[in-house]
Chains A and B, each alone.
Chain A
C-alpha cells in the first residue's frame, strides 16, 4: 500500500463546544445585526436581474481598457446612472446602465440613434399627452409600410403592423403606453451606448432587463427564499421534534442573513445566480445540522441521565470528523470555482464558500446551542421515537 489513510481528527475529541455557547450567541448576534444594518444602510448591490437595467460586456479592440475614459464617455450620454467594473481581465469591462424611464430624454436619445443609424433627416419626438407614451417619427422622405417597418426596427422597436402608416407618408405616430415606452427605452439606451463606444470596443454580450421583469423577479426571488426556508424547517420539524425545527430555522436565518452581510461587505453583485447561491446555502448548511441532530437523538435514547449540555457536546464531538470532512470536500470543489470559474460565477462562488464555512459554524454552535435554550429533554421525544429507543436498547 502506498499510503495510509490520514485521520484528520486523531483520537476521540472532547471539546467543550456548548460551553462556549454564550460567546457564540454574542458573536452570531453581532454579525447578524451588523449584516442587517449593512443591508439597511448600504443596501444590496442588486444586479440588473432584480433592479432592471442594462449590462454590456465590452472588450477593448486594442490595448487595455481605460475605465475612467469609458465611464466619462458613457456617463455623459444622459442614460442615467452608469457603473463600470473590470471583468475578468484588463481588456474587458462590464458596463451597467440603470433601468430606463420612459421619459422625454429617452425619446431624444432615439432621435440621436435614428439620425446616426438611418439618416440625418429623421426626427423622433414625444407626442400626445405627457402621461402617455406616444412617439412621433418623421422621415426625410415618404415611406411605405415596409420602409417604416425597417426604419423603426433600427431603434429596436417591435410593434404591431397596424400601428404603422399604410400609405406613403412622412410622419408616423406610434401609440404606446408610458410603460411600453419605458421597456422600449432600454433598447434605445443599448443602441446609444453601442453607437458611442462601438468604434473602440467590441461588444461581447448585452443583457437588458425591463422595469417590469425586474420587479417580478425580485418578488419571485423573495418568495423562493421564504418557501425554501419554510419547507426545510417543516421537514426538520416533521422528522425530529419541534425544538430541532426551531434550532434549524434559527441556524438557517443566521446563514442566510450573514451571507447577505457578506454581499454588502464585499459589494458583490446580487444577481439571479447569487440568489441561487443563497438557496443552495440554505439547503446545504442544514446538512451538518441534520447529521448532528440525528446523533443527538440517538444519544438521548442511549444516555437518559446525561445532562443536555454534556449530551450535545458528546454528539458534536462524535460527529466532528464528518462535519469537517463533508464541508471540506465541498469547500475544495467551490474553491476551484472561485479560482477558475471566471467572472460570471464569481459572486456565486464566493457566497457559496462563505456559506459552507458559516453553515458549519452554525450547525455546531447556533443549531445545537438553540436546543439548550429551548430546554430539550429526553422525555419530550415522541412516543414512536421512545419505542425505537427501547428496542434499540434491547
Chain B
C-alpha cells in the first residue's frame, strides 16, 4: 500500500513543523532574538572555533607531581607522629613516587607504629613486613584526589580567564588528567597564558589587636607595620547597599589597595600586620568536613606543605588567643581566633558555620594556587578573518553542491520525482539544523563538509526507491502498484546501505574532538534523519499526487 494512515501523515507534518520551529532561531536577526523568550532562542547552533575564531588549549595536569608532593607531606607527618609516640625509626622515605617506606629500629614496635600512622590517615593502604612498613594511598583515595585536582584546576582556570566575563570560555575535563579550554574570539594567546598563570593572591596575616577599633569607625592612624583590609562580608554589604561604589572598586585602574578601599568606601575593615605569616602557595588542601565530636558541626580542615606547616606552627604557637586573618585578593575572607598551636601541617577552623559556608570557604582557600602544573600539550588558534574565510568557502561549497545535486535529480527523474526528492533533501537539512540546535552542537568547517555529503547521500535513498519503481514499471505494473512495490522492496536496501555509514559516523564521533566531531555530528544526524525524509516523507508526497492526478503513466 502506498497510502499512509492519517495519523502518520499528521505526525510527518508535525515533525517537519517542529523542525522548522527549532531551526528558526538560527536564521533570525539579532533584534528579533532579543524580543523572543530566552528558552526558545537559546537552543541555537554554535559556530565552532575554526569558523568563529578563537583559541583552543588542551592542558595536562601533572598528577605525578601532585602525588609526589602529597607523599612527601605524608612522610613528614609520619616522622612527626612516630616521634610523638616515641617509636624509633631508622628511615622514612618516599619510594618511586607511589609509596612511603618506614624502616623501624625495633620490629616489636610495628603494631604501635601502624596504629600511630593510622591516626594520620585511616584510609592508607599498609603493607610490608618485619621492620618495614610500606604506606600507599588506596585506589579510591587516589581516584578521589585526581578528580579533586582536576575539578579544582578547572574552577581556578575559570576564575582566572573569565575575570572580565565578556567571553564565555568552555572549560571541561578531558579523560583522566586533562582539561580542554576553549576561548572564542581570543587572538592574543600570550595574554591568555598570562591569565592562566595569574594566581589569586592568598595570604595569612595576624590581626593587629592593639589598634583600637570601635564599631564602624576606622582608626585614624596606623603603625607602619599594619594596614587595613576590607572583610568579605563588609564588601558584600557594601555591594548590596551601594552597587555603584562596588563597581567603581572593581573597575578601578590601577587597582585600589585594600587600605584605599577602606578609607574611601568604609566597608567593614580589619587592621592586619603587613608581614605574611604564610602564603596560599603553601596551602595544599582545604576541605569542608564535620567535627568528630561535639555534635559534628561543619568545619573547614586545611593542610599545609612542610614549609607552610613550619611557618604556621611558629606563628600560631606565639599568638594563641589572637586572630589570624586570611586574605584573598585584597579581601579578608575570615579571621578565626587561634585556639592552640597548630603544628604538623594541618588544622581546622571551627565556628557557627553552615555546610554551605564551610564549602564556600574551603573553595576560596583552595582557589589560591593551581594544585598541579598544567602543561599545554595542544594549542590551536584561529584568527577571526581566517574563520570568516572558512565560513565563506564552506557556504559556497554547500550551496553549489546542493544546486548540483538538485539539477542532477531533476534531470534524471524529471520535475516531479526529482522535485520531490529535492524537497525531501531540503527538509532533511532542516531536520539536521533542528537536531543540532536541540543538541547545542557546534558547526565546524568539517561539519559543513559533512552537510554537503549529507546532501548527496540523502537523495541516494530516493535513487534506490525510484530505480526500483522504474524496474517495476518496466515489468508492466500499474503506476500505483509500481510505486507501492518500489517503496516496499527498496526499504531493506535503503536501511542496509545506510547503517554502515552510521557505524563509521558513530566511531568517528567517539574518536574525534573539536572539528572532526563536528563532521561526525552532521553526517550521523543527516543519515539518521534522511531515513525519515527519503522514505516516508517522499512517499507521503507521492501518495497525495497519485490521489490527486490518478496517473495512467508515471513520469519517471
Q: Do A and B actually bind?
A: yes
Residues of chain A having any CB pair with chain B under 8 Å: 1-8, 12, 57, 88, 145, 149-150, 152-154, 156-163, 166, 180, 183-184, 186-187, 190, 203-210, 212-213, 220-221, 223-224, 227-228, 231-232, 235-236, 239, 272-273, 275-276, 279-280, 282-284, 286-288, 290-291, 294, 318-319, 321-322, 325-326, 328-337, 339-342, 344-345, 348-349, 352
- In the assembled complex, the CB of A342 is this many whole angstroms from the nearest CB of chain B, namely 3
Q: Does B47 contact A (CB under 8 A)?
A: no
| B89 contacts chain A at the CB level, 8 A cutoff | no
Query: A223 vs B507: C-alpha distance in the bound complex, in angstroms?
Result: 10
Give 4 A-B pairs besides A208-B376, A329-B408 with Cβ atoms closer than 8 angstroms: A157-B193, A280-B453, A283-B503, A336-B401
On chain B, the residues within 8 Å of A279 by CB distance are 504, 507-508
> Given known contacts A160-B369, A321-B467, is B503 in contact with A290 (CB within 8 Å)?
no
Which of the listed residues B382, B463, B504, B516 has the most CB atoms from chain A within 10 Å of its own CB? Answer: B504
**With A and B bound together, what is the CA distance between A195 and B418 in angstroms?**
57
Known: A153-B193, A156-B193. A276 touches B519 (CB 8 A): yes
Q: How many A-B residue pairs have CB under 8 A?
A: 282
Are A291 and B493 also in contact (CB < 8 A) when A213-B58, A318-B471, A329-B460 are?
Answer: yes
A200 to B513 CA separation, bound complex (whole angstroms): 34
Distance in angstroms between the alpha carbons of A153 and B199 in the assembled complex: 13
The answer on a CB contact under 8 Å between A232 and B503 is: yes
Residue B390 at the chain A interface, CB threshold 8 Å: yes
A336 to B505, CA, bound (A): 21
Contact assessment for A231 and B503 in the assembled complex, using a CB-CB cutoff below 8 Å? yes
Identify which of B294-302, B328-336, B391-399 touches chain A.
Answer: B391-399
Asked if A205 meets B383 with Cβ closer than 8 Å, knowing A291-B497, A318-B471, the reply is: yes
Check A231 against B507 for contact (C-beta < 8 Å).
yes
Which residues does chain A contribute within 8 Å of B455, judged by CB atoms? 333
Q: Provide 26 A-B residue pairs closer than 8 Å at the C-beta atoms, listed in order of the A residue.
A: A1-B555, A4-B555, A149-B194, A153-B194, A153-B196, A161-B199, A162-B281, A186-B379, A187-B379, A205-B383, A208-B379, A210-B377, A212-B377, A224-B510, A228-B508, A239-B496, A276-B519, A280-B508, A283-B502, A284-B457, A287-B501, A330-B457, A330-B460, A340-B400, A345-B394, A345-B449
Cβ contact within 8 Å between B377 and A287: no
In the complex, the chain A residue whose C-beta lies closest to that of B279 is A166
**A206–B381 contact, CB under 8 A?**
yes
Pairwise interchain contact B453-A330, C-beta atoms closer than 8 A: yes
Q: Are B412 and A205 interface neighbours, CB within 8 A?
A: no
Minimum CB–CB distance from A22 to chain B (whole Å) comes to 28
Question: Is B154 part of the contact surface with A, judged by Cβ < 8 Å?
Answer: no
Closest CB of chain B to A209's CB: distance in Å? 5
Assess whether B497 is in contact with A290, with CB atoms less than 8 Å apart.
Answer: yes
CB-contact partner of A339 in B369, B397, B510, under 8 A: B397
Q: Which residues of B (190-227) have their CB < 8 Å from a CB of A?
A: 190, 193-194, 196-199
**A residues less than 8 Å from B452 (CB atoms):** 333-334, 336-337, 341
Chain A residues near B502 (CB-CB < 8 A): 283
Give per-residue flags for B150-174: 1 if the beta carbon is below 8 A from chain A beta carbons, else 0: 0000000000000000000000000
Q: Quick check: is B512 within 8 A (CB to CB) of the other chain?
A: yes
**Chain B residues with Cβ under 8 A from A210's Cβ?**
375-378
Q: Which of A1, A163, A335, A344 contacts B373 (CB 8 A)?
A: A163
Q: B285 interface residue, CB < 8 Å from A?
A: no
CB proximity of B191 to chain A, nearest CB, Å: 9
Check if B500 is an interface residue, CB within 8 A of chain A: yes
B459 CB–A CB distance under 8 Å: yes
Within the complex, what minimum Cβ distance (angstroms) separates A81 from chain B?
20
Residue among A5, A209, A322 with the most chain B CB within 10 A?
A5
Least Cβ–Cβ distance between B196 and chain A, in angstroms: 5
Task: Give the docked Cα–Cα distance between A206 and B381 (Å).
Answer: 5
**When chains A and B are docked, how far (Å) is the Cα of A93 from the Cα of B190?**
23
Q: Chain B interface mostly helix, strand, loop or mixed?
A: helix
Instruction: Determine the distance from Cα of A337 to Cα of B380 in the docked complex, in whole angstroms.
Output: 24
A232 and B500 in contact, given A153-B193, A158-B374 (Cβ under 8 angstroms): yes
4 closest cross-chain pairs (CB), A and B: A283-B504, A342-B393, A333-B456, A336-B401
Q: Does B386 contact A (CB under 8 A)?
A: yes
Query: When chains A and B are docked, how far (Å) is the Cα of A328 from the Cα of B8?
Result: 32
Considering the complex, give the chain A residue whose CB is closest to the CB of B407.
A332
Contact assessment for B414 and A152 in the assembled complex, using a CB-CB cutoff below 8 Å = no
**Nearest Cβ on chain A to B477's Cβ, whole angstroms:** 16
Within the complex, what minimum Cβ distance (angstroms) separates A292 from chain B?
10
A156 touches B414 (CB 8 A): no
What is the 8 Å Cβ interface bit string for chain B, positions 440-477, against chain A (1 contact, 0 not)?
00000110010011011101100110010011001000
Of chain A, the residue at the smallest CB distance from B462 is A329
Q: Are A213 and B381 in contact (CB under 8 A)?
A: no
- Let me know if A276 and B520 touch, CB within 8 A: yes
Complex: A266 Cα to B439 Cα, angstroms:
38
C-alpha gap A235/B512 in the complex (Å):
23
Q: Does B415 contact A (CB under 8 A)?
A: yes
Say if the beta carbon of B352 comes within 8 Å of chain A: no
C-alpha spacing A139/B400, complex, angstroms: 58
**Contact call B372/A160, Cβ cutoff below 8 A:** yes
Q: How far is the CA of A158 from the CA of B62 in the complex (A)?
A: 12
The answer to whether A204 and B385 touch across the interface, beta carbons within 8 angstroms, is yes
B356 close to chain A: CB less than 8 A: no
Chain A residues near B396 (CB, 8 Å)? 340
Contacts of A236 in B (CB 8 A): 500
- Give the residue of B405, B412, B474, B493 whose beta carbon is less than 8 angstroms from that of A8: B412
Decide yes or no: A3 and B199 within 8 Å by CB, A283-B500, A290-B500 being known contacts. no
Task: Give the residue of A212, A228, A325, A336 whose beta carbon is less than 8 angstroms from that of B397.
Answer: A336
CB-CB under 8 A from A336, the residues of chain B are: 397-398, 400-401, 404, 452
Closest to A212 in B: B377
Q: Which of A3, A5, A286, A348 contacts B449 (CB 8 A)?
A: A348
Determine whether the beta carbon of B373 is less than 8 Å from that of A159.
Answer: yes
Interface residues of B in 389-440 (CB under 8 A from A): 389-390, 393-394, 396-398, 400-402, 404-405, 408-415, 417-418
Once A160-B370, A284-B457 are accepted as A-B contacts, the answer to whether A332 and B375 lie under 8 Å apart by CB is: no
Interface residue B492 (Cβ < 8 Å from any Cβ of A): yes
**Is there an interface contact between B493 and A342, defined as CB atoms closer than 8 Å?**
no
B60 within 8 Å of A by Cβ? yes
**With A235-B503, A290-B497, A342-B393: A162-B374 Cβ-Cβ less than 8 Å:** no
> Does any Cβ of A come within 8 Å of B7's Cβ?
no
Tell whether, in the assembled complex, residue B453 and residue A204 are in contact, meaning their CB atoms are under 8 Å apart: no
